[in-house]
Amino acid sequence: GQNIDQPTEMTATEGAIVQINCTYQTSGFNGLFWYQQHAGEAPTFLSYNVLDGLEEKGRFSSFLSRSKGYSYLLLKELQMKDSASYLCAPEVGNTPLVFGKGTRLSVIA
């Protein structure tokens, strides 16, 4: 089985930077996905990390440390529209993704 741990809720200010952490314990790890889900909407793909290190994509960056079973999603220049749940999902072999419960981010003015 997999064990995925993310903070349940976070609050940050518009224009600031926020880091959402995810730790996981799994065997047969391939890579790690981050998805964004606005309330009442479908999850949308944000990033996929296979190698250790930071991958930057606009205002969003994702980091992976395979040896530590740790990833984070970094959101810069926060906007109100970034208020959403952020889901961490380790990929194990060709098995279906198992999602963490997600971190609900609230961006306040």
Partner 1 sequence: NAGVMQNPRHLVRRRGQEARLRCSPMKGHSHVYWYRQLPEEGLKFMVYLQKENIIDESGMPKERFSAEFPKEGPSILRIQQVVRGDSAAYFCASSAAGTQPQHFGDGTRLSIL
Could you list the residues that contact partner 1 (CB under 8 A)? 33, 41-45, 48, 87, 91, 94-102
DSSP letter for each residue of 23-78:
EEE-SSEEEEEEEEE-TTS--EEEEEE-SSEEEEETTEEEEEETTTTEEEEEE-S-
CB of 15 to partner 1, least distance (A): 28
Please name the amino acid found at residue 75.
L
Of 34 and 72, nearer to partner 1 (C-beta) is: 34
Of 35 and 72, nearer to partner 1 (C-beta) is: 35
CB of 16 to partner 1, least distance (A): 25
Q: How distant is the alpha carbon of residue 55 from its chain centre?
A: 12
Of 81 and 109, nearer to partner 1 (C-beta) is: 81
> How far does the chain reach from its first CA to its final CA, in angstroms?
40
CB of 94 to partner 1, least distance (A): 4
CB of 99 to partner 1, least distance (A): 4
Of 25 and 95, nearer to partner 1 (C-beta) is: 95
Q: What are 23's two structure tokens? A: 């730790």
